[in-house]
């Protein structure tokens, strides 16, 4: 597999060995929190992505009937060993996932790094700044529990979170956001997971563009995430741009977005600083990666 060009790697490329060691030092109690919401047929997800489908591919009964796998035939398999396998059909933006930097383009069909869809696309997906170019991520994580701060189970659909809102959340928690960290914003949406109807009726609260600029430009955040499908306010407050935070973070700044993160357990235990480990799948041509991130407190 080709090595990514420097301009394919965004802000996570700024994370150095000292940052990793500092991040590991944030895990003082050894408590592991699973931030993956899980995946299953019928799960809630955004309509613009392929639905999650999983079906049996081979079964013990089918193998016995077909007798098309010599390894499991009677002559080589007196013990009667068999297997079950499956076929999964979906997109990488399913459940808890990380957006690759090729995911969002501008009016000229160009994504982060100056790569153009006409030049850097193939029948098998983008050839630059794809999921395969994202390095393993180990960094400090910070939870901003907006739902907890506003004392509601979950924020109302379309509720924008401004810079002032998130500053107030951080101040109330006594939380400092270090540079080269990941900030996760809790809206409370995962409190209704996995109910598709309730999820769909509540999804859409999140940081506005001003808040994203503060986190990324002023504080040096290198990954931004939330418990929603978009990590931003939807519908957008900008009538000219349906996803201003996506366009700013991914295309302009090279900051990955972590979506549909399960943050309920962190909020329940009052954990707002931790080690975050997020390992994207190295899939060439993918515009994002399903991930199972963990927070270690």
Q: Could you tell me if 70 and 20 lie in one domain?
A: no
- Predicted local confidence at residue 60, as pLDDT: 96
CATH at residue 101: 3.50.30.50
Is residue 82 one of the residues assigned to a domain? yes
Cα 156 from Cα 32, distance rounded (Å) = 29
Q: What is the pLDDT of residues 140-154, one digit of tens each?
A: 999 999 999 999 999
Residue 1 lies in a domain: no
> Given phi > 0 = left and psi -120 to 50 = alpha, else beta, which region is 42?
left
**1 confidence band (pLDDT: 50, 70, 90):** confident
Q: 230 and 127 in one domain?
A: yes
Buried b (16+ CB within 10 A) or exposed e, 272-284: bbbbbbbbbeebe
Q: Which two tokens stand for residue 118?
A: 């006409």
Count of domains forming the chain: 2
pLDDT given at position 33: 98
pLDDT band, residue 295 (cuts 50/70/90): very high
Give yes or no: residues 79 and 103 share one domain.
no
Pair (121, 81) in one structural domain: no
- Same-domain check for residues 204 and 61: no
Are 247 and 142 part of one and the same domain?
yes
pLDDT mean over 7-31: 97
Q: Are residues 146 and 212 in the same domain?
A: yes
* Whole-number Å distance between alpha carbons of 90 and 39: 10
**Mean pLDDT to the nearest integer, 81-104:** 97
Domain end residue (candidates: 30, 64, 89): 89
pLDDT confidence of residue 207: 98
- Rounded mean pLDDT of the chain? 97
Examine residue 287 and state whether it is found in any structural domain, yes or no.
Answer: yes
* Residue 124 forms part of a structural domain: yes
Same domain, 186 and 256: yes
Q: Using pLDDT thresholds of 50, 70 and 90, give the confidence band for residue 160.
A: very high
pLDDT at 247: 98
SS3 82: coil
Q: Which tens digits make up the pLDDT trace of 165-196?
A: 999 999 999 999 999 999 999 999 999 999 99
Q: What is the pLDDT of residues 205-257, one digit of tens each?
A: 999 999 999 999 999 999 999 999 999 999 999 999 999 999 999 999 999 99
Within-domain flag for 204 = yes
The verdict on 62 and 113 lying in the same domain is no
Domain end: 26, 61, 89, which one? 89
14 inside domain = yes
Question: Where does residue 265 rank: exposed (0-12), middle (13-18), buried (19+ CB within 10 A)?
Answer: middle
- Identify whether residues 11 and 76 lie together within a single domain: no
pLDDT (0 to 100) of residue 173: 98
64 and 159 together in one domain: no
Percentage of the chain modeled with pLDDT above 90: 95
183 and 64 within one domain: no
Percentage of the chain exceeding pLDDT 70: 100
**Element counts in the chain: helices (H) and strands (E):** 8, 17
- Domain carrying residue 68: 53-89
Question: What are 32-74's pLDDT values in tens digits?
Answer: 999 999 999 999 998 889 999 999 999 999 999 999 999 999 8
Q: Please give the pLDDT value at position 47.
A: 87
Residue 18 lies in a domain: yes
Q: How many of the other CB atoms lie within 10 Å of CB of 247?
A: 18
Rounded-to-10 torsion of CA 196, 201, 203, 205:
-160
**Would residue 252 count as lying in a domain?**
yes
Note the pLDDT tens digit of each residue in 254-291: 999 999 999 999 999 999 999 999 999 999 999 999 99
Q: Which of 89, 111, 141 is the last residue of a domain?
A: 89
CB 251 within 8 A of CB 106: yes
Rg of the Cα trace of the chain? Answer: 21
């Amino acid at each position: 597999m080709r090595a990514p060009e420097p301009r394919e790697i965004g802000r996570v490329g700024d994370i150095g060995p000292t940052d990793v060691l500092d991040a590991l030092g944030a895990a003082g109690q050894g408590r592991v929190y699973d931030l993956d919401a899980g995946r299953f047929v019928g799960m809630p997800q955004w309509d613009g992505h392929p639905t999650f489908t999983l079906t049996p591919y081979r079964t013990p009964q089918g193998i016995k009937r077909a007798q098309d796998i010599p390894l499991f035939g009677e002559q080589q398999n007196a013990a009667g060993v068999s297997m079950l396998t499956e076929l999964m059909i979906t997109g990488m933006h399913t459940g808890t996932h990380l957006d690759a930097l090729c995911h969002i383009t501008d009016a000229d069909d160009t994504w982060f790094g100056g790569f153009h869809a006409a030049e850097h696309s193939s029948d098998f997906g983008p050839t630059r700044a794809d999921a395969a170019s994202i390095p393993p991520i180990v960094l400090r994580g910070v939870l901003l529990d907006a739902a907890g701060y506003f004392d509601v189970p979950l924020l109302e659909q379309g509720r924008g979170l401004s810079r002032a809102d998130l500053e107030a959340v951080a101040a109330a928690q006594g939380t400092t956001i270090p540079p080269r960290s990941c900030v996760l914003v809790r809206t409370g949406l995962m409190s209704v997971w996995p109910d598709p109807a309730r999820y769909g009726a509540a999804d859409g609260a999140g940081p506005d563009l001003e808040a994203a600029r503060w986190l990324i430009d002023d504080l040096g955040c290198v990954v931004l995430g939330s418990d929603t499908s978009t990590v931003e306010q939807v519908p957008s407050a900008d009538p000219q741009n349906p996803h201003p935070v996506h366009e700013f973070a991914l295309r302009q700044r090279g900051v990955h977005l972590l979506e549909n993160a399960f943050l309920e357990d962190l909020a329940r235990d009052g954990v707002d600083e931790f080690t975050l480990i997020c390992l994207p799948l190295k899939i060439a041509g993918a515009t994002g990666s399903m991930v199972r991130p963990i927070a270690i407190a």
